[in-house]
């Protein structure tokens, strides 16, 4: 190792506030060169804003459900968080930059800012999406600019921009090179997937937005996904069922809210929630997923792969949900299904968790991988 150019004053073992950018130049934030860029609103044509069900009501406000006074105030605040929102477009621009104004500048203790409050960009198109990068910006900043793509070849490319998972977006501007070609993106391949659930549904704690399982599935299936995951507040209220039933072109519903409602909540709400969806969409497939393994709930640690023994409360709730689905199927609803969420992450499920509960990127990838095999669509 060569320390020839090492400057003593830039680093001290006694200094607890070392700036990593002084130790590794590749960690430094780079300024955006805005020369020759034109900035567009994602609400303009031909950009497509996906995942926003009530946009016609909200105008230029990014929000997941209507702002009505009778909504649980916690859900109302979480509805401002843009989990599942995407902007897609085609362009010949060699550069893609963004200007962003966020709802707040707080950071989370166990989720990277690049996942909670940032955007990430994919390039390629349906069946060929590749991640480029996420936008890095100063901690706690509410406004920032970032360059997400810079290549010399001026060819037609398709882009997908994922929104923050745990923050609201007050303004977004997309910078492309002046006089670049701009067209609408490819059409989706099928009807929409509508998901309702908890913090894991919302995307906690992915390292960047594109790694939330809903966004992975959206790319893999080339479908629009409406993400109604409300962190800590997936309680199965009938009012929420009425909201998500307003999707006009659903191909499937996924209900994954046991972790918030708990066993008692699931017993009291699940059948009524399903009944509301069936009232509006008699034939659309509904998949009920029981909660994933949770290290915080384990009755005992060790090499025991019997989840019924390590998670006794989850086992009881899982049995209830399976029995309900089987009863509804026996009564004639052949488009309702059950998936044991405890089996979606594999035997080494503990490697898929950040804090014993919320998912790492590995956890989200495995969940998406397995759900893509078992979900049924119209």
- What pTM value is reported for the model? 0.91
What span, in angstroms and rounded, lies between the C-alpha atoms of 300 and 311? 9
Percent of the chain topping pLDDT 70: 91
- Residue ranges of domains in the chain, CATH in brackets: 37-183 (2.60.120.260), 192-374 (3.40.50.1110)
The pLDDT of 311-318, averaged and rounded, is 80
The whole-chain average pLDDT of the chain stands at 92
The pLDDT of 143-166, averaged and rounded, is 97
User: What's residue 14's pLDDT?
Assistant: 55
Percent of the chain topping pLDDT 90: 79
Strand partners, 174: 40, 98
- Give the model's confidence band at 23: pLDDT under 50 very low, under 70 low, under 90 confident, else very high: confident
Closest CA to 184 of 378, 26, 47: 47
pLDDT-wise least confident of 65-74, 201-210, 263-272: 65-74
User: What's residue 306's pLDDT?
Assistant: 65
With a cut of 60, say whether residue 11 has pLDDT above it: no
Contact 307, 350 (CB under 8 A): no
What span, in angstroms and rounded, lies between the C-alpha atoms of 138 and 136? 7
Higher pLDDT, 362 or 11: 362
User: What's residue 302's pLDDT?
Assistant: 52
Tell me the pLDDT tens digit for each residue of 46-82. 999 999 988 767 678 899 998 876 788 999 999 999 9
Tell me the pLDDT tens digit for each residue of 322-340. 999 999 999 999 999 999 9
With a cut of 60, say whether residue 179 has pLDDT above it: yes
- Give the model's confidence band at 7: pLDDT under 50 very low, under 70 low, under 90 confident, else very high: low
With a cut of 60, say whether residue 10 has pLDDT above it: no
- Give the model's confidence band at 103: pLDDT under 50 very low, under 70 low, under 90 confident, else very high: very high
Please work out, in degrees rounded to the nearest 5, the angle formed at the alpha carbon of residue 29 by the alpha carbons of 28 and 33: 130
- Give the model's confidence band at 303: pLDDT under 50 very low, under 70 low, under 90 confident, else very high: very low
User: What's residue 70's pLDDT?
Assistant: 76
In three-state form (DSSP H/G/I as H, E/B as E, the rest C), the secondary structure along the chain is CCCCCCCHHHCCCCCCCCCHHHHCHHHCCCCCCCCCEEEECCCCCCCEEECCCCHHHHCCCCCCCCCCCCCCHHHHHHCCECCCCEEEEEECCCEEEEEEEECCCCCCCCCCHHHHCCCEEEECCCCCCEEEEECCCCCCCCEEEEEEEECCCCCCEEEEEECCCCCEEEEEEEEEECCCCEECCCCCCCCEEEEEECHHHHCCCCCCHHHCHHHHHHHHHCCCEEEEECCCCCCCCHHHHHHHCCCCCEEEEEEECHHHHHHHHHHHHHHHHHHHHHHHCCCCCEEEECCCCCHHHCCCCCCCCCHHHHCHHHHHHHHHHHHHHHHHHHCCCCCEEEECHHHCCCCCHHHHECCCCCECHHHHHHHHHHHHHHCCCC
């Amino acid at each position: 190792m060569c320390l020839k150019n090492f400057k003593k004053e830039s680093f001290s073992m006694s200094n607890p506030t070392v700036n990593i950018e002084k130790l590794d130049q590749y960690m430094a934030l780079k300024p955006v060169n805005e020369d020759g860029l034109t900035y567009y609103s994602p609400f303009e044509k031909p950009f497509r804003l996906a995942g926003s069900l009530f946009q016609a009501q909200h105008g230029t406000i990014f929000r997941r459900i209507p702002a009505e006074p009778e909504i649980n105030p916690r859900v109302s605040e979480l509805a401002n968080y843009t989990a599942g929102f995407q902007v897609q477009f085609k362009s010949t621009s060699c550069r893609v930059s963004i200007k962003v104004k966020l709802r707040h500048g707080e950071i989370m203790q166990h989720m990277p800012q690049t996942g909670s409050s940032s955007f990430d960009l994919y390039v390629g198109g349906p069946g060929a999406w590749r991640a480029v990068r996420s936008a890095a910006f100063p901690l706690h900043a509410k406004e920032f600019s970032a360059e997400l793509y810079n290549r010399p070849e001026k060819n037609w490319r398709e882009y997908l921009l994922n929104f923050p998972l745990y923050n609201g977006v007050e303004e977004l501007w997309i910078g492309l090179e002046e006089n670049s070609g701009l067209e609408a993106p490819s059409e989706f391949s099928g009807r929409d997937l509508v998901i309702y659930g908890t913090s894991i549904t919302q995307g906690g704690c992915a390292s960047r937005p594109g790694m939330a399982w809903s966004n992975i599935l959206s790319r893999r299936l080339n479908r629009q996904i409406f993400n109604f995951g409300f962190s800590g507040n997936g309680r199965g209220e009938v009012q929420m069922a009425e909201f998500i039933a307003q999707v006009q072109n659903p191909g499937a519903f996924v209900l994954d809210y046991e972790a918030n409602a708990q066993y008692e909540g699931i017993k009291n709400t699940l059948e009524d929630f399903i009944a509301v969806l069936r009232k509006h969409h008699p034939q659309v497939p509904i998949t009920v997923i029981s909660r994933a393994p949770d290290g915080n709930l384990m009755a005992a640690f060790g090499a025991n792969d019997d989840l019924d023994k390590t998670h006794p409360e989850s086992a009881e709730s899982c049995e209830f949900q399976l029995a309900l689905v089987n009863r509804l199927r026996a009564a004639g609803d052949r488009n309702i299904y059950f998936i044991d969420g405890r089996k979606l992450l594999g035997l080494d499920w503990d490697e898929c968790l950040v804090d014993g509960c919320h998912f790492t990127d590995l956890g989200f990838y495995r969940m998406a991988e397995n759900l893509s095999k078992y979900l049924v669509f119209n």
